[in-house]
């Protein structure tokens, strides 16, 4: 796990980060879908063959949840955590059993808060790709990022 | 569970749907977060008190996943399933233990496909609210919705 050392003061537009990988399999896909997205193209390999997806595919929300885990555990070392307000989300390709997901992020915009000088809003570009480079998820979140506390020292 | 009877042919702009309710508790919040968003404000009540959220809050992705489950099981009876391409997502209020989530959806736009006459793209407005009417999630998904198969009859 990366040291979580970065405050708003440390970020600049164009900074990039990369997560470790996570391999998804059919069991994970079906377990998540049974809880949160119980549709046959996410829960049943045979039924999925005749569906829109032409085979078992992960729920987009499963791809999103794995992306978040990768950001938290290795992809985006923000000192006060990853606090998202939302953003534009899309799933250009389905996530399939055997895919290895990795997330690349880039800082697109930094807007210090006028009313709350201890924080700012940072727009990131987050792309989740599989081992073939296919984009499984594209997300442009706005994150609340805190400034370094007064008197604090950078730990790195 | 609502009968899943609706094809593209059956939808019109302004149609509205409402899901049943789902009550979330601290155990659900912590269990989801341990798997997908392991940050202290989602996993530890005590630590959460001194965080941005001022108390335990669900991961936004957990709110999104519960919203999807509610849509699939009761909120949006599309005959061929709920197939999302993405959309604009935001979390205006945190989801807290004890919140009862319900989802209201409204058809905003219907665009038949020019190249594939068996389907269209439907933009929905999906609002997830708690029992106090606070908006926990606002989502404007674009869904792929299929037309009724030729020769098929409406089942209702």
User: Which residue has tokens 């003061």?
Assistant: A9
Q: What is the DSSP letter of B92?
A: S
Domain extent listing, chain A: 8-146
pLDDT at B152 (0 to 100):
53
pLDDT tens digits, A99-131:
999 999 999 999 999 999 999 999 999 999 999
Q: For chain B, which residues lie within 8 Å of any Cβ of chain A, measuring from their own Cβ?
A: 32, 35-41, 51-52, 59-61, 64-66, 68-69, 72-73, 80-91, 138, 144, 146
**Position A1 confidence tier, pLDDT thresholds 50, 70, 90:** very low
Residue B58: closest C-alpha in chain A: A83
The residue among B69, B94, B127, B139 with the most chain A CBs within 10 A of its CB, best to mutate, is: B69
**Position A150 confidence tier, pLDDT thresholds 50, 70, 90:** confident
pLDDT at A153 (0 to 100):
55
pLDDT at B98 (0 to 100):
98
Determine the Cα–Cα distance for residues B88 and A37; give it in Å rounded to an integer.
19
Q: Is ipTM over 0.95?
A: no
pLDDT tens digits, B82-100:
999 999 999 999 999 999 9
Mean pLDDT of A35-44: 97
Q: Is the pLDDT of residue A151 over 70?
A: no
CA-based nearest distance B97→chain A, Å: 18
Instruction: Give percent of chain A with pLDDT exceeding 90.
Output: 91
**CA-wise closest residue to A55 among A100, A99, A94:** A94
Ranges of chain B with pLDDT below 70:
1-3, 151-156
Instruction: State both tokens at A28.
Output: 């994970």
CA-based nearest distance A119→chain B, Å: 11
User: Which residue has tokens 């990369």?
Assistant: A18
pLDDT at B1 (0 to 100):
44
**CA-wise closest residue to B54 among A83, A153, A113:** A83
User: CATH for B8-146, among 3.10.129.10, 3.10.20.10, 3.50.50.60, 3.30.230.10?
Assistant: 3.10.129.10
Question: With contacts defined as CB-CB under 8 Å, which chain B residues touch A41?
Answer: 81
pLDDT at A4 (0 to 100):
75
| CB of A108 closer than 8 Å to CB of A13 | yes
pTM above 0.90, yes or no: yes
Mean pLDDT of A45-64: 97
Instruction: Give percent of chain A with pLDDT exceeding 70.
Output: 94
């Amino acid at each position: 796990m990366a040291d979580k050392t970065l405050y708003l003061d440390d970020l600049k537009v164009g900074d990039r980060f990369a997560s470790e990988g996570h391999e998804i399999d059919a069991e994970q896909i079906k377990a998540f879908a049974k809880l949160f997205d119980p549709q046959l193209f996410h829960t049943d390999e045979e039924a999925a063959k005749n569906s829109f997806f032409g085979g078992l595919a992960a729920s987009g929300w499963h791809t999103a949840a794995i992306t978040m885990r990768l950001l938290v555990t290795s992809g985006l070392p923000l000192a006060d955590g990853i606090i998202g307000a939302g953003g534009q989300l899309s799933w250009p390709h389905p996530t399939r059993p055997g895919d290895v997901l990795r997330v690349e992020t880039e800082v697109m915009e930094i807007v210090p808060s006028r009313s709350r000088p201890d924080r700012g809003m940072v727009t990131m570009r987050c792309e989740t790709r599989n081992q073939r480079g296919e984009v499984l998820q594209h997300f442009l979140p706005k994150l609340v990022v805190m400034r370094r506390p007064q008197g604090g020292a950078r730990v790195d």
